[in-house]
Amino acid sequence: MKIFLVNPPLTRQEAAGKMKVIVNLLPPLGIGYIAALLEREGFVVKIVDCPPLSLTHDDLCKDLAIEKPDIIGFTATTISIDSAIKAARNARAVLPHSLIMIGGPHVTALPEETMRNGPFDVVVLGEGEYSFLEIAQRVRNASSDFSGISGLMYRKNGELISTGRRAYIDNLDSLPFPAFHLFPPLSIYHPMPGNVRKMPYAQIMTSRGCPYQCTFCDRKVFGQLFRARSPKNVVDEIEMLMKRFGVKEVKFNDDTFNVDPKRVIDICEEILKRNMKIPWTCRVHVKNLSFDLLKIMKRAGCWQIGFGIENADTAILKRIKKYITLEECKDAVLRAKACGMNVKVSFMFGLPGETEKTIQKTIDFAKTLPADIVNFHIFIPFPGTELFNKISSEGLLLHENYQHYCQLNLPKYMHLPFVSKGLGENQIRKSSSRAHRSFYLRPSYILSQLCKIRNFSDVYRYWQGFLAIVSL
């Protein structure tokens, strides 16, 4: 019995619009975890990660025809769902008797729509490892009865059957490490130039669930219940990546790495105890970030931390349940810089209540921060988020062409699904370009970054970033 796990075709242009030159392209950990669990249970698994290999739908179709897997599992985000549906239709035409499944954040948010629009036999809801495993075990035993398996929606006699959400995985240490050996070589992936210093580079997830309430964020898969791997388990994975795959840098890809500061300290102490010399990065909340925590993170190899500030207007921050103050944000950035960290900050334009005045306020505030990287994203109401539901219920959602749901600088053929009252689409587009240019092309900023160049890798990173800015 053979199982294919597929990340469908998606070009850099489709994924990142005008910012395609610095697109963040990394192995999808979701199918990596599923593959590892299936292998542990004796299944033959192949991962087909189409984007880094530039595989087309025809390429994928030919591979399926040759390999003839019994189960084909797709993963999909909002921007890749149409591609996943097209790939599934091709798979159905080539292999009419194979079981076709799909999972991921978009699918979990809109399972009925996904089943209506594609030829899927099963949708996996939420965390998919054990639901997928139980299906594979039944197929191996020649059973097509999926009743009793939680976390699914499937077809039976023409009807859609939902088995409800599966309980969250409490003991994350019970999961094997993602099957990196089934992905293409890490050297062909492309992390954003400003996010990495050394290659090969890998991302790992040390926790699941985010307790914060931001209304623009999708928590359908991992939920709000914070669950964490043990520090030893985390550092064991880093050690494995270094020894087996030659990894020279890692990113902790948790939604919020410092939810539990004590655990962060324990991870850092474990890294230091093993004398592991590896740089790493993470995303953090402006709260729970003391000088002592930053200092031990720095000692353990952390060179960059990312903050999601989102907007500089307090009314908008309150509306999106981002319960932070600008003073807290600035203090956190200054503390990180004082500890020798590289700082990355993210903002969004076009949130409900946004005006030209609030846009300018955000740009002005960003320029007061001694940040090294600032991203000015365009707000997209992704399915599954509280804001999507609110905007949709109020009749303000302009379209559901998911190929246009790109948060970066949109090419002309893409159109925003939501435009804040009082603003035009072109205003939001131009504000993102204007903000990037205004922040990065300041003589003081350019000089400060030139002084930090240490090697050719730094030169390459800055050059790629410059190309992205001038293309806006």
27-60 residue pLDDT tens: 999 999 999 999 999 999 999 999 999 999 999 9
Quick one: average pLDDT of 242-247? 97
Residue 154 pLDDT grade (very low, low, confident, very high; cuts 50, 70, 90): very high
Q: Of 465 and 83, which is predicted with more confidence?
A: 83
CB 182 within 8 A of CB 31: no
CB 188 within 8 A of CB 363: no
Domains contained in the chain, CATH given = 2-162 (3.40.50.280), 191-470 (3.80.30.20)
pLDDT in tens, 179-214: 999 999 999 998 887 888 899 999 999 999 999 999
Residue 14 pLDDT grade (very low, low, confident, very high; cuts 50, 70, 90): low
pLDDT at 139: 96
pLDDT at 111: 95
pLDDT at 170: 94
pLDDT in tens, 282-295: 999 999 999 999 99
Residue 319 has pLDDT above 80, yes or no: yes
Cis amide leading into 200 (omega within 30): yes
Which of 215, 217, 210, 253 has the alpha carbon at shortest distance from 234? 253
Residue that has been written with the tokens 């030169």 in this structure: 459
159-173, 217-231, 400-414: least confidently modelled range:
400-414
Give Cα 300 distance to the centre of its chain.
24
Rounded distance between C-alpha atoms, residue 248 and residue 227, angstroms: 27
pLDDT in tens, 404-458: 888 776 667 789 999 999 899 999 988 988 999 999 999 988 888 887 777 666 6
Residue 13 pLDDT grade (very low, low, confident, very high; cuts 50, 70, 90): low
Residue 460 pLDDT grade (very low, low, confident, very high; cuts 50, 70, 90): low
pLDDT at 194: 80
Give Cα 200 distance to the centre of its chain.
19
CA torsion angle 331 337 340 346 (round to 10): 100
Phi, psi of 291 (to 5 degrees): -60, -45
Residue 18 pLDDT grade (very low, low, confident, very high; cuts 50, 70, 90): low
CB 264 within 8 A of CB 297: yes
How much of the chain exceeds pLDDT 90, in percent? 80
How much of the chain exceeds pLDDT 70, in percent? 93
Residue 65 CB contacts under 8 Å (≥ 6 apart), including other chains = 94, 95
Residue 84 has pLDDT above 60, yes or no: yes
